[in-house]
Structure 1
Amino acid sequence: MNKTLRLSTAYLAVAAAIAALLAGCSPSKGDLPASTAQAAIAATPQSGPAAVARGKIEVEGGLIDLAPGINGTVQQLPVKEGQSVPRGQLLMRMADDASRADLLVAESEWKLAEARLSAKTKRLPLVKTMHARWQNAAREGAADAHSVDEAAQQLRDAQSEADVAQAEVKVAQAKVEQLRAVQRRFELHAPEAGTIVRIRTHAGSQAGPAQTVITLLPQKPLIVRAELNESFANAVREGMHATVVLDGDAGNNTVALPDAKVLRISPVFGAAHLQEDTQRGPVRIIECVLVFDQPPAKARVGQNVRVTFHE
């Protein structure tokens, strides 16, 4: 029994010696090989985002509220909500019977004045030719000075009549252009291509310059208008990369959008509209506008988003 115990003790001593030798030959934790150290650095989590902010999807310049240029009754409304319209598309026409009648009369007067001018202009070369003939005849002794004077007077009269006719055409044309300008006030056209978002009137109702009747979403790229808290004022710069996600009401309903970059940063502070602090009161922010790298397919104007800025 004692012999067996002595052999076990000897074996344990040898094993301990071998373990100590191996430990001495192995590299310490602080002396890892270069490849292992680089791998460890690469696996180390990177620093956090430079800044975060809340924002809203908008279109450059905002929605366009349209109103008629004159008070009156809506006569025609040839568009509907959700319709895409090109620039210059007729959106609404007001009742303009009296104005249209005045325009028709003025256009007729313009045509009549042009007809008179044409007749006077065609007569003028004949009178000039007759005057020249009387002058040649007088030089040859075949006509007296009185006849030449009468021909000269006829030429002056014809020229004067042509000048008066030309002035009448200009007056008639100016009147037509003025009435056409008035006529345009009865019509509402799309100032640029876009989509009809809302119509707030109908045929037969009253409308005027103080009333928005149609809201147009212009066909422009969507942007993000973010509210950058004053604590991040110096952490964000133009051209910085950012990620954008839709911010659902529940806080966890997020949809990733295309990446964006900072287009411009406001030089002044303002009051927050998307952020609030019930304990500290109004939040001061700097407005930051971002543009998407590519058009977002799932974003709509007015949606709230969360923006994360990266170095």
Structure 2
Amino acid sequence: MKLQLYFLQIVTLTAALTSSLLFSCQSGEDAKNAKAQADSLAALPSTNDRIVGVGRIEPEDGLLSLTAGSSGRVLEVQIDENQQVQKGDVLLVLETTLERAQLAQAQSKKATQQAAILARQAALEGLRVTLRNSEKTYMRNTELFQGKALTKEALDDSKAEFDKVQQDVRQAEAALSEAQSLRNENLADVNYYQTVLAQKQVRALLGGQILNVTVKTGDYITNDTPLADFAPQGPLFAKTEVDELYAEKVKIGQKAYILSQTTADTLATGTVSFAADYLKQKSLFKDQATELEDRRVRQVSIQLEAGQKPLIGSRVDCVILLN
């Protein structure tokens, strides 16, 4: 019994020492970071001449989620994380077996329909020649009948023949028009299947950087399946917010420093390029849209100077200089 108590005391003491050391190390690290941040802020103008806000590094229009705009099974993924792409570059290739079969079927009808159109055109031209001849015969017989040189029966026969050929011409014209309509419908089908087939190569609509890829070969995707997170080309911005107590002090053109939240090092400098004309109830950095808060904020964007690119999506401290 005494041995068990002795062992328990040793375990308790060891746990206490371990916890104390961990707390000491953590406290030391926190103190180090706090001191670094204090030192970094101390190098900037006095508290009365600056506003500090929490920000996030993003492109001007924010991060985009790329979608396919088509559906099918992924045959090939042609992008990697951190890859730069240009407008028109192929991102994914989807399986096209069905679409190619549909296109081949539509294209196979083209020759048949064109031949049908040529045959109907030839028939129509022949009937038009016959119509002109029957019309001449009827007109001549009319003159002969008026001159008492032709019987009424013969005149009626030529009139009936003329009327019949006219009807044949109208039917041939209708048949040609129908064949041409079928040809046009087929051309529309061919164009449609070619468009569908082209969409099986998913291309970039604008240039930028692929941040991460969320699909892989073999996945089945639909029109709105997210493919990747994407940062459009262009300057980066630190998007922050200022409490309503200080909101009116922010002006476009003010200088700003962007500091790391972990090391407090200056990551970049920039200029206030946007300050909202209204106050919002909801903070940019709340995790849930339904969370309530009492304060109101003014959204502010700071355009980073050329050549300075902190990690996209990183949380930073934004120090806006008021003078």
* TM-score after normalising by structure 1: 0.68
Pick the structure with more helix per residue. Answer: 2
TM-aligned CA distance change 1:133 to 1:81, over 3 Å: farther
Pair 1:241-2:253 in alignment: yes
C-alpha contact (below 8 Å) 1:268/1:286 kept by paired residues? yes
Query: Which of 191, 200, 206 is 2:214 aligned to?
Result: 200
CA distance in 2, matches of 1:229, 1:111: 72
The amino acid across from 1:74 in the alignment is: V
TM-aligned CA distance change 1:119 to 1:295, over 3 Å: farther
Q: If you compute each CA radius of gyration, which structure gives the higher value, 1 or 2?
A: 1
Q: Which residue number in structure 2 is paired with residue 96 of structure 1? A: 96
Q: Which residue number in structure 2 is paired with residue 298 of structure 1? A: 309
C-alpha contact (below 8 Å) 1:243/1:309 kept by paired residues? yes
CA distance in 2, matches of 1:183, 1:270: 44
CA distance in 2, matches of 1:195, 1:126: 66
C-alpha contact (below 8 Å) 1:77/1:92 kept by paired residues? yes
TM-aligned CA distance change 1:155 to 1:57, over 3 Å: same
Secondary structure, aligned partner of 2:61: coil
Fraction of identical pairs, as percent: 20
The amino acid across from 2:300 in the alignment is: C
How is 1:243-258 mapped onto 2 (pairs within 5 angstroms)? 243-258=255-270
CA shift at 1:75, angstroms?
0.8
CA distance in 2, matches of 1:111, 1:153: 29
Q: For the aligned residues, what is the CA RMSD?
A: 3.4
Q: Which residue number in structure 2 is paired with residue 136 of structure 1? A: 136
- CA displacement, residues 202-232 of structure 1 (integer Å, 9 cap, x when unaligned): 3234444564232222223323311111211
Question: Mind listing any 5+ residue stretches in structure 2 that lack a counterpart?
Answer: 1-44, 145-154, 287-292
CA shift at 1:53, angstroms?
2.5
CA shift at 1:139, angstroms?
1.9
The amino acid across from 1:108 in the alignment is: S
The amino acid across from 1:302 in the alignment is: G
Query: Which of 174, 184, 194 is 1:160 aligned to?
Result: 174
CA shift at 1:296, angstroms?
4.2
Secondary structure, aligned partner of 2:306: coil
TM-aligned CA distance change 1:47 to 1:287, over 3 Å: closer
CA shift at 1:164, angstroms?
0.8
Secondary structure, aligned partner of 2:318: strand
TM-aligned CA distance change 1:259 to 1:104, over 3 Å: same
TM-aligned CA distance change 1:261 to 1:194, over 3 Å: closer
Secondary structure, aligned partner of 2:281: strand
Pair 1:261-2:283 in alignment: no
CA distance in 2, matches of 1:249, 1:50: 17
CA distance in 2, matches of 1:310, 1:118: 81
CA distance in 1, matches of 2:279, 2:124: 70
C-alpha contact (below 8 Å) 1:74/1:202 kept by paired residues? yes
Q: Which residue number in structure 2 is paired with residue 271 of structure 1? A: 283
TM-aligned CA distance change 1:206 to 1:155, over 3 Å: closer
Q: Which residue number in structure 1 is paired with residue 8 of structure 2? A: none
TM-aligned CA distance change 1:171 to 1:286, over 3 Å: same
Query: Which of 163, 178, 182 is 1:149 aligned to?
Result: 163
The number of residue pairs the alignment matches comes to: 258
CA distance in 2, matches of 1:104, 1:114: 16
TM-aligned CA distance change 1:54 to 1:120, over 3 Å: same
CA distance in 1, matches of 2:127, 2:258: 83
CA shift at 1:272, angstroms?
5.3
The amino acid across from 1:84 in the alignment is: Q
Secondary structure, aligned partner of 1:231: coil
* TM-score after normalising by structure 2: 0.66
Secondary structure, aligned partner of 2:80: coil
